[in-house]
Structure 1
């Protein structure tokens, strides 16, 4: 908004659409000139909408954009001029009939140990050093928690390890492991029917719905925030742990089993909703968790919270086994440029 306000104060604003180069789309009638990449991208978006239409069986036409189209741009703060000002201006010049509806989701710069990422200075994190089948979603969770949405934020490997060890392993998987053990031990790996409900049980069931609705808002166009979704997920799991810790299951199993059934049934529902709502943020973990709960799929979004039916198979053994061992590095190699591999010839290398 500040950029837009300052540019409006100018008496005149001219932007060249072509420039001298031998790489790019040639500008007709201007030998040695190519179309500047940013206007090219503006029309590339419309072409991609038309391409998507072919896949969906729709009649969207890049040459005739419609007022019912909703375009959503995700970009870094340094590209604000192009997305928020140049594109609408170019569209207005070409399509007099079209008033583009565009939403903008902008993020600030992400730093590494307080400084800009720089491969030339060997100041970078190499994906292959921290990403693996077991860690890719932990990295996604951590990046979500530290995403620079409204201000610059900072990445460190130590903070990533804390997210994995203290949050994902120490809280998330620990809660799921205890829930899996109780369901398997007392109910043969199937969801029990609820028994007696206490006020705390009703409050927790309402909290599950609050989480579902909150995640829906965080993913929506109006309230989009990956960071809010990540924080919301962490807060929800902590609430599940607090709810569980309020009952001594060793005693409850013997003295008031009806309450125990309710508590465990509600926690299985919470685990199912967690799988649903984490699919956009942590797809591999969400899918693995969902496969352990019969009838749960991450392909659809839950419009409300419904308790899992009694007798539903609940087996989290595979997800717990898969994520049992960390793969995040415990040294600094992720900061360093990979060393060239030696050339191997027979039994000799150099």
Structure 2
């Protein structure tokens, strides 16, 4: 009889432990808005126990700082969605360099499908002469170097990525520099798949998660993505869920894990075209100086971000199951990615969600 009682207690204890873990049936499942529909389920600030009194100060600050679109998702559902300064839910806006993460994501899909390997030389796909670097130096540059901003090419020559403007400065892998040469990955994807970049992007990513928008050519050879704010939120939700949309693993989970963790030992706060918070040091665009501390000290340490010129932002916070989107004009002066706006914005956000 004692053995039966002990067994019952053990089974009951195990059931109790399992019911409290992160995978319990009581936990709210991640929500995904339906494809091809404007329907998107919502929840309230009050239902999450957040601070309702701090919502208006956040909205006032966003409007003051030239924001156009702002969304907070929790577990996939919209908690806040606001538009300012004449913008609407259907109006497109440019992602700027926040769209680099789209290129990184599609590169991972193409690798999963066997079209390319990120450890291969770029010249294996584009042929030699895609830079003006000496051949031996050009052949050091892999797709992964483009993903991690460590190509060793000169970042001081502007956005032009024609061969004449891609000049050798250091051996690939030895120098971190924020450079639009990453866009050559789109050419690698096109060459390896035998499809146009737009077609492969649309069929493998955009259409599968219900995004709208299109790539626009800027300065003759740089593609910049434009979409409405909800489409940016859909992509952020995919990233939060480790590359999986409902039951469809669109991007390999292992690739997404690598993309959103430190990718090299020079800039600890950089993955595969994603910025990483909570690291011990970081580099910024257009400088070789190493700064101590986290890129956004006021934000959660596990956050990773897609950051674009003039304060286009995707913030992903796995520990809180939160995605935050900000689109608009520059909050203050024009900037490449990070700005002081990030820190103050996170003070305002934290006052709401904590």
- Which TM-score band applies after superposition, normalised by the shorter structure? under 0.3
TM-score by length of 2: 0.24
More helix by share: 1
More strand by share: 2
TM-score by length of 1: 0.24
Report the structure number with the largest CA radius of gyration: 1
